[in-house]
Structure 1
Amino acid sequence: MTDTADTAEASDFDLPQVHKHHVFACHTQRPPGHPRGSCGALGAQPLWDRLGKAIETEGLAEIGFTASGCLGFCKAGPLLVVYPEGVWYRPTTPEDIDEIVEQHFKQGKRVDRLVMVLTRR
């Protein structure tokens, strides 16, 4: 027997449009002084609030925004990653968020000064 969900078309579901960019922002909040740190303890929430509001007020329906758990680089936060490019940003001020929205989301230009470079040791 075949489950109907296995053969259903995407159009059979109330799915949102495919996003031009999809942002995953770490919302992990560990207690102050935790040895791993966390994006939340480093001030992420006001930045993510600003990002969500900017996406909404600018009418950027093509930008998906998802609260994520730990992205694995806790002491480097606040962190967000933008797909499909796989660009990791490390914003620290409200103006950094504004720049990401304007440059990356609206103009398609990576904000190099805010990119977190991942290197192997």
Structure 2
Amino acid sequence: MPKPKYHILVCTNSRPPGHPKPSCGSAGAAQLLMAFNMGLMQRGTPPGEVLVSATGCLGPCELGPTVVVYPDNTWYAKVTEADVATILDEHIGKGTPVARLNPDMVWK
């Protein structure tokens, strides 16, 4: 299998109800993971060209769901299902990170 062009990491960490710290899992991360995979299939992305992986906690829990795109090391905050198409079309498709989704918290 060839080396992937991109690797999309989606934080899916969940904490128990009532926990004082928020989590990406409780903010809809599982749906994001599915939306990225479905979006790649709908766009006809060849298998292995872009990988999508669930991760544990990435750190900025209060800004979740958090998504990171490598090898660009671009961090996205508060990603929604509606943002997935934009990330796939702009960042993955054209190589241009989506500025409105990577505010000052982005470490690039």
Q: TM-score range by the shorter chain?
A: 0.7 to 0.9
Q: How does 1:41-80 map to 2 (within 5 A)?
A: 41-61=26-46, 62-80=49-67
Q: Which protein shows a greater Rg?
A: 1
Which residues of structure 2 form unaligned runs of 5+? none
Identical amino acids, percent of aligned pairs: 38
Select 1:114's aligned residue among 87, 91, 101. Answer: 101
SS for the counterpart of 2:34 is helix
How big is the shift at 1:91?
A: 4.3
The question of 1:20 aligning with 2:5 is answered: yes
Q: Once the two structures are superposed, what CA deviation does each residue of 1:11-55 show, in whole Å capped at 9, x if it has no partner?
A: xxxxx3211111111111112231221101112221221111111
Greater RCO (Cα-Cα under 8 Å, separation 6 or more) = 2
Q: Mark the CA change 1:71 to 1:116 in structure 2 (over 3 Å): closer, same or farther.
A: farther
TM-score normalised by length of structure 1: 0.77
* d(CA) in 2 for partners of 1:115, 1:57: 25
Match of residue 8 from structure 1: none
Gaps of 5+ in 1: 1-15
* Paired residue type of 2:38: K
How many residues matched? 104
Question: What do residues 65-120 of structure 1 show as CA deviations (whole Å, max 9, x unaligned)?
Answer: 1111110111210011001110001244322111001101111111000114337x
Please give the secondary structure, in 1, of the residue aligned with 2:91: helix
